[in-house]
Amino acid sequence: MLLEAACYAARNGIDIKARKDDGSDVRTTLTLDPDVAMRAKAEAADHNIAFKTLVNEALRLGLEAYARRAKTAKVYRTQAVPMGLKAGLSYDNIGELLAQGEGEAYR
């Protein structure tokens, strides 16, 4: 029965209520992949906590890890190297340049 409930929740989305700053509730739907829904339901049952509590805790942990990773990600930069222009080629006419490099079939 747990498996059926998890799959049903994953196929049809899960309603989520949120509270806006003005105190009113907002509801949205979160659609989980079947494997994620089944695992979340199983974890909630194993730890004897509500599914909603597990999803909120998992999202908090995941978002914190995501933010840390984004802050510590190394910026990758390449060094530009001037290559010059090969003799006999002109960038003024790209069509002609492509024809020389790719043949007339490029069109």
**101 domain-assigned:** no
Q: What's the domain count of the chain?
A: 1
**CA dist list (Å): 24 to 18, 21, 85:** 8, 7, 64
Distance CA 61, CA 84 (A): 50
What was the pLDDT predicted at 19? 67
What was the pLDDT predicted at 7? 39
**102 domain-assigned:** no
pTM metric for this prediction: 0.45
Compute mean pLDDT per 10 residues along the chain, 107 residues long, and list them. 38 59 70 88 93 89 86 82 79 82 73
Asked if 46 contacts 36 with a C-beta cutoff of 8 angstroms, the reply is no
What was the pLDDT predicted at 58? 92
**63 domain-assigned:** yes
What was the pLDDT predicted at 1? 31
What was the pLDDT predicted at 101? 78
Query: Domain residues for 8?
Result: 2-72
Closest Cα partner for 8 from 48, 28, 37, 51? 37
**92 domain-assigned:** no
